[in-house]
């Protein structure tokens, strides 16, 4: 079994990174294979809405814009479950997460049962380190994103710097529960 843990923050010591680290701890404790991705370490540009708005992404489920997107898209096909954490910027995902997921959605949303997310569990977490505002609107957009790609939402988690201490435990527990559930164990 393989879990993909995707984070989208330039701050490698911040709240988003701490969430990713706790999800990784759960994966390592469970002995599952881990694909850890920090989107800010990759070169992934925005969607160009090629052609008439749909390029190769519609028919071939492949983005024709050449950058690090293609390799990551292929690696994610091996995952059995996903844990996605983004910082909250103005009530939305970070720019790196938005750029990646906008392109991924175009390749996967109309791919139906062939979507790499089809019926696979996803935990999405919105980490607001500053004011703590915007976590709900960020999670709403993440929920729509994963529904478009036919994923099975396992959990949606808000975390702020004020709730950090106990919510990091929630992050780890949620990852562990998703792993057990995916392995067929009762949660």
For residues 152 and 119, the answer to whether their CB atoms sit within 8 Å is yes
Q: What is the pLDDT of residues 166-177, one digit of tens each?
A: 999 999 999 999
Phi first, then psi, for residue 84 (nearest 5°) are -120, 125
Give the end-to-end CA distance of the chain in Å, rounded to a whole number. Answer: 17
pLDDT at res. 131: 83
Could you identify the residue written with the tokens 């694909």?
A: 35
Angle value at C-alpha 159, between 154 and 164, nearest 5 degrees: 125
Burial category of 144 from C-beta neighbours within 10 Å (exposed 0-12, middle 13-18, buried 19 and up): exposed
DSSP state of 124: E
According to CATH, the superfamily of the domain at 2-43+55-182 is Flavodoxin domain (3.40.50.360)
Report domain extents, the chain: 2-43+55-182
| pTM (2 d.p.) | 0.95
pLDDT at res. 186: 55
pLDDT at res. 33: 97
Q: For the chain, which residues score pLDDT lower than 70?
A: 186-187
pLDDT at res. 56: 86
């Amino acid at each position: 079994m393989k879990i993909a843990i995707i984070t989208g923050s330039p701050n490698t010591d911040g709240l988003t990174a701490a969430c990713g680290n706790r999800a990784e701890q759960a994966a390592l404790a469970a002995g599952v294979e881990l694909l850890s991705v920090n989107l800010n370490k990759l070169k992934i540009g925005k969607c160009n809405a090629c052609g008439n708005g749909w390029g190769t992404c519609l028919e071939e489920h492949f983005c024709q814009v050449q950058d690090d997107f293609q390799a990551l898209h292929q690696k994610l096909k091996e995952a059995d479950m996903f844990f996605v954490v983004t910082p909250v910027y103005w009530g939305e995902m970070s720019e790196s997460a938005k750029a990646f997921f906008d392109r991924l959605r175009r390749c996967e949303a109309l791919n139906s049962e062939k979507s790499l997310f089809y019926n696979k569990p996803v935990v999405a977490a919105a980490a607001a380190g500053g004011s703590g505002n915007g976590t709900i609107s960020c999670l709403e957009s993440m929920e729509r994103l994963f529904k478009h790609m036919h994923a099975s939402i396992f959990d949606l988690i808000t975390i702020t710097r004020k709730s950090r201490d106990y919510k990091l435990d929630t992050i780890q527990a949620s990852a562990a529960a998703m792993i057990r559930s995916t392995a067929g164990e009762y949660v």
